[in-house]
Amino acid sequence: MSSTTEPAHNPIPIRRPLWRRLIGFNLLTALVLGVGGYYLGWLIGHQINGHSYKYQAKTGENDVALLLAYFFGVAGFLVGLGFANYPLSRLLGRPASLREKEDQGIGRYFGLCTDHKVVGMQYLVGIGLFLFIGGLNAMLIRTELLHSTPTFVGPDKYLALVGMHGTMMIGMTTSGILGPFANYFVPIMIGARRMAFPRIEALTFWLLMAAGFILTSTIFFGGFPTGWTGYEPLNNQAVMGMDSYIMFFALVGISMTLLGLNMMATIITMRAPGLTWSRLPIFVWSVFATGVLMVLAAPMLVATLLMSALDRTINTSFFIPGGGGSAYLFQNLFWFFGHPEVYILALPGFGIVLELLPVFARKPLWGYRLAISGMLGVSLMSFFVWQHHLFVSGINADLRPFYMLSTEIISIPTGFIFLCVMGTLWRSRMSFTVPMLFCLGWTFNFLIGGLSGVFLSDAPVDTTLHGSFYSMAHFHYTIMGGLIFTFFGAIYYWGPKMTGLSFNERLAKWHFWLMFIAFNSTFMPLFAVGLKGQPRRVSEYTPGLHGLNVWVSISAFVLGFSMLIFLWNVVQSLIFVRRPAERNPWRSKSIEWQVPTPVPVNNFEQIPVFDSDPYDYGVPAIGPGPVQPASAGA
Amino acid sequence: MAAQANDPAPSEPNHARRFGALWLIATAIALPVAIFVIGPIIPPGNASEQASGQVTDSTVLLAMATPVLMLVVCYLIYAVAFFRQPRGGALEGPQVRGDARLQTTWIVVTSLLVLSLAVYGSVRLIVGNGAGSGSGPTPLTVPKGPKLPVQVIAQQWQFTYRYPTYGGVETPHLYLPVDQTVELNVTSLDVIHSFWAIQLGVKADANPQVNNIAFVKPTKVASFEIRCAELCGIWHGGMHDTGHVVTAAAFAAWIGQQQRTFAPATKVLPPYSKTYQPEPTRRGG
């Protein structure tokens, strides 16, 4: 963003004419090739499937054509960005170009760039854009629920909104912390100059962007009626908009797998000398645990969606009961991914909170090893709980005590995180900065989310709660109250480092308080709404719940307004006011605050050597933990 | 927590004792409120044995969750009130990195709490014969005594009900006799639905080609709400209905009348079966 202040690394800046610069591997070419690929796929799909019975019977619907169009469109998009250059030149025996990293202008933010800091910024803006779309969907959903009968958008568009909101939010928040903040800060925190696989790092981002556009395009194909879970056989019955869901989640799954793999490889192999596992910042640990989950869980999703796509296109019947398949199979496969997925959403939040608290509490992180075992315990356990989503489904009903036990056991490692938070705050010297407020907000929200989950894990009580607004309120407490609060905390904390500019603190505090109050005012009543008998994803509910629903909708609009305050703060601080940030505004001892702002392309002139963890607070006489690189003081 | 040797302010109050007192007082106030004020009003109420059982279970869970909730909330309040950085100050906290005894205690206590919850939940599930939830085609435990079988057939977007012991009559209304154990056989003709009899505390997914059994024993003559609780297409929200629990005599009269009314339809229906071959899926849902 503030690239103008960067020292010129390029000794010979080449200024080519504008028309010449537009030709080459860039976003424009990518869009042209993407659209071209889309129509190519569409054409091939109609050649293949244009005259078949299935095509005719479905009033012009052609899933083969749409899926091929998406596939070729994404391929063209990636080729246009230049992702084929490196493998092709290696295949042809030519030296690999490393040109991606040398470009220094603002243009590098709009194309394939292998600088992990650029990718981090790209992620932040790109994910922010799609989270905004998902948030707008939520506003429309709550507008519809102002009435107890479908009047505003109608039941079909309502379901399309619900599906798009849920899918977009899940898909984007999955990379919500790992994409922007882990890509940006993990290499710096571990004293590395780059990620282990920089091109794959860029690929994960552009895959996610392609996926986001594909999901948004579902509105042109009628949307999809299944919500984010995509249950069969409703999935098979749905119109072409369903293919957007399948393609979106498949791309997100691939992006997640690669992202997790890249994080694991980086953290395992690229730590600087002295940075042992027991000195690793807790945020890096949380990223590692999340990476493990991503690599193990996301491929399951991709495989499941492939089977779904085959069912929809070439009439296999993996999931179609009438054809010998099983709808239970989809539920099993989906939740085997789906439950680790919710911990993929929760774990980075744990990491952010535990990373930020010591800075603002001016105390070392309390119970570092306990926190690590908590995160790893959650990761491990999350693979043994998935059938608690199916307590009333009739599948393996006799195994319910086991899944009840495993689900409740997972609250033990989660409890470790709370103990570490409380221990760190004990007799601390808290200053209530904006990032700190978001961390404290997380503590309250995730507590409610966790405790409400205990009720859901109890099979007898779950009979009433399952599939109701109660479970919806529960997971919004853990994902929005958990992850999104830490997401904003991380923006306010690391934003000055990433942009070199500081936020308006008054607006930021308004943002926090309004968001915290409106969030609780929105989702707390939904526990009652669910208990009183409102199922999820309905556009029609019993008139007796009208009052509560109106209250929730109005709170949701206030919640939406708090996001506008944030947006205004971003626009004002980063575009109009542009007040430079202090070098280390939080007096943090972590290494990312010791390197200059903006961070040089290669992060460090000399690889730093670590001799402690970064939580050496509490003894003012002793200097910062890690030995600083020679350039850090500049 | 352990006393800190490098305590900068010897006049500092005993935080552990003060916070402990705050937590005990807050719990002492909140626990009776949770058990005696919130507990009785937790849905689904007492219209069936299963519903009453769920209310009891919810109250037990609430009673166990309240001290935990109070612990963290009181802690947050206490910490925000007393562990502050003075305005414009740059003080550092004590350099404490953990406390083995406290950590061990925490692990032991939370493990015991969690294990007792799991044992309690399992016992209630098994003793309660599934506690009103769909327990698959062959439930592990079955209530003793005579049972009235009722089949719930879900399709987009309505429920119909078959009474196999009354000539397999199929009706669009659900009437159940009071104080009689009912065996609900839930199945679907197309996509997955979920039969939710809200006030009776019953929920069972309706899967195509699966018979999902739930037991319920209504204890009150009253109406109850029925909703579909699994997303099943555009009119999912409109898939609701009112069921009735009536006296045995009223039920006998009603079912006789239904048999007469639907006699022509019953003749052409497929014979009663635990599951039905679903229609081929088609677009437009």
Tens-digit pLDDT profile for residues A242-265: 999 999 999 999 999 999 999 999
Give the pLDDT mean for A345-374: 95
Give pLDDT tens digits for A261-290: 999 999 999 999 999 999 999 999 999 999
* Contact criterion met (CB below 8 Å) for A248 and A171: yes
Q: Where are the beta strands (DSSP E) in A204-277?
A: none
Q: What is the pLDDT, as a whole number, of residue A97? A: 66
Say which of A150, A454, A620 has its CB closest to residue B92: A620
Give pLDDT tens digits for A567-614: 999 999 999 999 999 999 999 999 999 999 889 888 999 999 998 888
Count of domains observed in chain A:
1
Residues of chain A numbered 401-440 and touching chain B (CB < 8 Å): 401, 404-405, 408-409, 411-412, 415-416, 418-419, 422-423, 425-432, 440
The reply to whether A30 falls in a domain is: yes
Contact (CB<8Å) A426/B234:
no
Give A599's DSSP letter: P
Helix (H) or strand (E) holding A397: none
Which pLDDT band, with edges at 50, 70 and 90, does A634 fall under?
very low
pLDDT over threshold 90, residue B116: yes
Residues of chain B numbered 218-247 and touching chain A (CB < 8 Å): 225, 227-238, 240
Mean pLDDT of chain A: 90
Q: Give the range among A24-33, A543-552, B59-68 with minimum mean pLDDT.
A: A24-33
pLDDT over threshold 50, residue A3: no
Q: What is the pLDDT, as a whole number, of residue A5? A: 44
pTM assigned to the model: 0.92
* Contact criterion met (CB below 8 Å) for B222 and B250: no
Assigned architecture for domain B148-268 = Sandwich (2.60)
* Contact criterion met (CB below 8 Å) for A326 and A319: yes
Contact (CB<8Å) A233/B192:
yes
For A54, the domain range is: 25-99
Q: What is the pLDDT, as a whole number, of residue B147? A: 95
pLDDT over threshold 90, residue A52: no
The reply to whether A224 falls in a domain is: no
Q: What residues does each domain of chain B span?
A: 15-83+114-127, 148-268
Residue A425 structure tokens: 């705050």
Q: What is the pLDDT, as a whole number, of residue A12? A: 54
Contact (CB<8Å) B83/A426:
yes
Give the pLDDT mean for B155-173: 94
Q: What is the pLDDT, as a whole number, of residue B2? A: 42
Residue A184 structure tokens: 């940006």
Residues of B in contact with A615 (CB under 8 A): 97
Q: Report the alpha-carbon angle A444-A450-A455, nearest 5.
A: 130
- In a mutational test of the B interface, the residue from A151, A162, A393 whose CB has the highest number of chain B CBs within 10 Å is A393
Residues of B in contact with A537 (CB under 8 A): 231, 236-237
Which pLDDT band, with edges at 50, 70 and 90, does A630 fall under?
very low
Residues of A in contact with B201 (CB under 8 A): 463-464
Q: For residue A603, which phi and psi values (nearest 5 degrees)?
A: 65, -60
Residues of chain A numbered 208-267 and touching chain B (CB < 8 Å): 225-227, 229, 231-234, 236-239
Q: What is the pLDDT, as a whole number, of residue A519? A: 97
The reply to whether A507 falls in a domain is: no
Give the pLDDT mean for A494-509: 94
Q: What is the pLDDT, as a whole number, of residue A143? A: 95
pLDDT over threshold 60, residue B204: yes
Q: What is the pLDDT, as a whole number, of residue B280? A: 54
pLDDT over threshold 70, residue A57: no
Residue B96 to chain A, least CA–CA distance (Å): 7
The reply to whether A18 falls in a domain is: no
Give pLDDT tens digits for A420-466: 999 999 999 999 999 999 999 999 999 999 999 999 999 999 999 99
Say which of B15, B213, B232 has its CB closest to residue A234: B232
Say which of A394, A443, A620 has its CB closest to residue B204: A394
Give pLDDT tens digits for A25-50: 888 999 999 999 999 999 998 888 76
The reply to whether A72 falls in a domain is: yes
Which pLDDT band, with edges at 50, 70 and 90, does A633 fall under?
very low
DSSP letters of B123-182? HHHHHTTTTTB---SS-S---SS--EEEEEEEETTEEEEEEGGGTTEEES--EEETT--E
Contact (CB<8Å) A327/B278:
no
**Nearest residue in chain A measured CA to CA from B19:** A426
Which pLDDT band, with edges at 50, 70 and 90, does A54 fall under?
low
Residue A409 to chain B, least CA–CA distance (Å): 6
The reply to whether A529 falls in a domain is: no
Q: Could you give the percent of chain B with pLDDT greater than 90?
A: 81
B58 touches chain A (CB under 8 A): yes
Which pLDDT band, with edges at 50, 70 and 90, does B4 fall under?
very low
What is d(CA A481, CA A633) in angstroms, rounded to the nearest whole number?
Answer: 38
pLDDT over threshold 90, residue A4: no
Q: What is the pLDDT, as a whole number, of residue A627? A: 43
Residue A58's Cβ-count burial label (10 Å; 0-12, 13-18, 19+) is middle
Q: Could you give the percent of chain A with pLDDT greater than 70?
A: 92
The reply to whether A2 falls in a domain is: no
Residues of A in contact with B1 (CB under 8 A): 423, 426-427
Q: What is the pLDDT, as a whole number, of residue B3? A: 42
DSSP β-bridge partners for residue B182: B148, B216
Residue B76 structure tokens: 């947050």
pLDDT over threshold 90, residue B228: yes
Give the pLDDT mean for A473-490: 96
